[in-house]
Amino acid sequence: MAGIYIHIPFCKQACYYCNFHFSTLLSYKEKLVAAIAKELFLRKDSLAGETIDSIYFGGGTPSLLSEKEFYAIYEAILKNYDTSSLKEFTFEANPDDLSDTFLNWLKNTAVDRLSIGIQSFEDVHLKFMNRAHTAKEAYESVQKAKQIGINRISIDLIYGIPGMEMQTWESNLTNAFSLEIDHLSSYCLTLEPNTVFGKLAKKDKMILPLEENSSSQFERLQNLSEAAGFVQYEISNFGKPNAFAIHNTNYWNGASYLGVGPGAHSFFPGQRMWNISNNQHYMRSLEKDELPLETESLSLADQFNEYVMTGLRTMWGIDLAFIENNFGHDYSNQIRKDLEKHLASGKLIAKENKWVLSKEGKFFADGIASDAFVINP
pLDDT value at position 49? Answer: 84
Predicted pLDDT of residue 352 = 87
Residue-level pLDDT at 58: 98
Residue 301 has pLDDT above 80, yes or no: yes
Determine the average pLDDT of the residues in 180-195: 96
| Chain length of the chain | 377
Residue 207, SS3?
A: coil
**What is the secondary structure of 302-344 as a DSSP string?**
HHHHHHHHHHHTBTT-EEHHHHHHHH-HHHHHHHHHHHHHHHH
The pLDDT value given to residue 48:
85
Least confident range of 30-34, 203-207, 298-302:
203-207
- The mean pLDDT value for 333-362 works out to 96
pLDDT at residue 377 above 70?
no
Is residue 90 classed as helix, strand or coil in its secondary structure? strand
| pLDDT per position as a tens digit, 218-232 | 999 999 999 999 999
Give the pLDDT score at 200.
Answer: 95
- Distance between CA atoms of 173 and 176, rounded to whole angstroms? 5
In this structure, which amino acid lies at residue 134? T
Residue 56: CB atoms within 10 A of its CB come to 25
Please say if the pLDDT value at position 128 is more than 80.
yes
* Phi then psi dihedrals of residue 32, to 5 deg: -70, -35
Whole-number Å distance between alpha carbons of 141 and 164: 23
Q: What average pLDDT does the segment 228-254 reach?
A: 97
pLDDT at 376 over 80: no
Whether pLDDT at 164 is above 80: yes
Cα gap 255→268, rounded to integer Å: 7
β-bridge partners, 237: 185, 234
Catalogue all structural domains in the chain, each as residue range(s) with its CATH number.
2-252 (3.20.20.70), 312-372 (no CATH)
Instruction: Give me the mean pLDDT over the 110-138 stretch.
Output: 98
Inform me whether the pLDDT recorded for 135 exceeds 90.
yes
Residues 256-278, mean pLDDT to the nearest whole number: 97
When the pLDDT of each residue in the chain is averaged and rounded to a whole number, the result is 96
Instruction: State the average pLDDT over residues 82-88.
Output: 96
| Reported pTM | 0.96
Mean pLDDT of all residues in 182-197: 96
Asked if residue 1 has pLDDT above 80, the reply is yes
Question: What share of the chain has pLDDT > 70, as a percent?
Answer: 99
* 183-203: average pLDDT: 95
The 3-state DSSP class for residue 23 equals: strand
pLDDT value, residue 358? 97
